[in-house]
Structure formats: C-alpha cells, structure tokens
Amino acid sequence: MKNILNLYKARGETPLQCIERFRMHNPEYKNVPLSYAGRLDPMAEGVLVILAGEANKKRNEYLDLDKEYTFDILFGFATDTYDLLGVMTDGVTRASHKAVKTPLLMEYIAQLPGVHSQKYPPFSSKPLEGQPLFVKARKGELEGYDLPEHQIEIYAASLVGMKRVKSEDLLKEIETSIKQVKGDFRQERILHLWDEALRILYGMSFDIATVSMHCSSGTYVRSIAHELGERMGIPALAMRIQRTRVGKYKVRGSLK
C-alpha cells in the first residue's frame, strides 16, 4: 500500500469525490486516512496528490510543491467564479463582442513570469471574517470588501495555440461539462444563463487561447485567465484547466 498516491481527478469531481471513487475501487484503503495536498476546482482535472496514513504528517511539504498547468481561456464572457461554473457578470450583446489580437495576448502572457500579489477569487475557500469567501459570495455579501491577497510566483508561461468555436458548439460543450458536476453548484441557474446568452449570440464564433504555465503553489489559474481578459479589455474565463504536474508527480503517471 502506497503512502503517496498520484490520482487523476476527473472534470466535474470535487477532490473528496475523487478520493471516494478511489476508495471504492481500492478497498484496502477503506479505513486509511486520506487527504489531498492541493485542491482542484470541480471544473479542473489532472494530478491530485493524495497522502495516505502517516504521510499526512508531512502534508505541508506537499502543499508547497510547484505545479504545471495547461488551460484554455474563453474570451467574450465573464463569470463570478472565473470559470464556466459561474453566473455571468457581464451582459452579452452581438455589438459588444471583440476579437482577440494574438500578438497583444502573447505580449501579456510573456509578462506573467515573476512574483505577483494575486487576489483570491470570490469563489475560493480563503476565510474572510470567519467564513470562506465562497459562502459570502453566494450570499452576495462581498460588496464593499477588498478581496484578500497572497504572493505567488509564475516561473514560465507561453501561448500554445489559438482556435475559434461556434456558439452552438460552445453551448454543447458547456452543457456537457456542467452536467458532469455533482453537488450544489448552482448548475440549473448557470445552464439557463449560458443558454440564454448563446442564443442571443447564435452564429457567432469565440476565441479560445491555450496556455501552459509553471507556477508556485497557491496560484489560481482561473484568476490568471480573468486577469488576462482584463488586460486585453475583453471578458475572459478559464474554460478548461488540466494540472499536468505537482512536484515530481506527472499526469502520465496518474491513476484514473
């Protein structure tokens, strides 16, 4: 029985649901304490390092490991979670749509490496006045607060490629992705808003940028997507996130 497990968290799962799925297929771990070292959002997938038994005593060492991601940024839309599983924060009209200027995006991505102060996203577990931010965000109680910040470091970032997706294909993918999510994440309301928006924008196409990034622990990838959109002057969110490495644990060695 291993003390350190490299699991592949599927899209739509929470880390705890991933652990439960692993226990179900590996009954020898049924009564063994398991915890994850660095969570992944429900819409993200990839390497999830799990500590078993005595390894939990060294949890802080694994929490601090550097990470690598490949993620897609969808331009033209913004949500309160900075990913697909959120309520839209900007109204969408056909006239307001802007195309992405690839050279400008490349310039901004090239400026990412370095030490930064990053605000925690509104939908995160960072405590504020004794409650996680996401609790206050869902209640609409964050107005008037400055979001807490923390220091991160980006070691490398690059644009992997660009593509365009049609509104009808985008809606199908969003519906498939959100329906994979288990638990109460406002899915019904969110699906209705996406359906409504993309019917207004029917026939249009939207830019998607694929980015790879090597960063320190604690970096919120969906916040990077949101911030790049702000710099470009175009709403943006993280459409897909795959964590490809945590320390020495790589995606090609993950147990699915």
Indicate if 162 and 234 belong to the same structural domain.
Answer: yes
Chain position carrying tokens 């195309």: 99
The number of folded domains in the chain is 2
Mean of pLDDT over the chain: 95
CATH of the domain at 213: 3.30.2350.10
**Residue at which a domain ends, from 29, 47, 64:** 64
Burial 94-110 (b: 16+ CB within 10 A, else e): eeebeebeeeebeebbe
Supply the pLDDT for residue 93: 80
Indicate if 156 and 34 belong to the same structural domain.
Answer: no
Indicate if 158 and 226 belong to the same structural domain.
Answer: yes
The answer to whether residue 89 is domain-embedded is yes
Q: Is the pLDDT of residue 96 over 80?
A: no
What's the predicted TM-score (pTM) here? 0.96
Indicate if 76 and 199 belong to the same structural domain.
Answer: yes
**Residue at which a domain ends, from 19, 34, 64:** 64
CA distance 251 to 256: 10
Supply the pLDDT for residue 88: 93
Percent of the chain with pLDDT over 70: 100
Indicate if 72 and 193 belong to the same structural domain.
Answer: yes
Supply the pLDDT for residue 67: 98
Yes or no: say if 242 and 69 are a contact pair by the CB < 8 Å rule.
yes
Query: Residue type at 105?
Result: L
The answer to whether residue 133 is domain-embedded is yes
CA distance 62 to 56: 9
Assign 78 a pLDDT band (cuts: 50, 70, 90).
Answer: very high
The answer to whether residue 8 is domain-embedded is yes
Indicate if 35 and 160 belong to the same structural domain.
Answer: no
Across the range 219-243, mean pLDDT stands at 97
Q: Supply the range of the domain harboring residue 197.
A: 67-246
* DSSP 8-state code for residue 254: -
Q: Is the pLDDT of residue 95 over 90?
A: no
The answer to whether residue 208 is domain-embedded is yes
Q: How many other β-carbons are positioned within 10 Å of the β-carbon of residue 196?
A: 11
The answer to whether residue 256 is domain-embedded is no
* DSSP 8-state code for residue 146: P
The answer to whether residue 253 is domain-embedded is no
Indicate if 106 and 213 belong to the same structural domain.
Answer: yes
Per-residue pLDDT reduced to its tens digit, 156-205: 999 999 999 999 999 999 999 999 998 999 999 999 999 999 999 999 99
Supply the pLDDT for residue 230: 95
Indicate if 163 and 239 belong to the same structural domain.
Answer: yes
Indicate if 138 and 185 belong to the same structural domain.
Answer: yes
Indicate if 72 and 31 belong to the same structural domain.
Answer: no
- Residue 235 has φ and ψ, to the nearest 5°, of -55, 145
The answer to whether residue 237 is domain-embedded is yes
**Residue at which a domain ends, from 27, 46, 64:** 64
Assign 69 a pLDDT band (cuts: 50, 70, 90).
Answer: very high
Supply the pLDDT for residue 223: 98
The answer to whether residue 134 is domain-embedded is yes
Indicate if 173 and 217 belong to the same structural domain.
Answer: yes
Q: How many other β-carbons are positioned within 10 Å of the β-carbon of residue 162?
A: 15
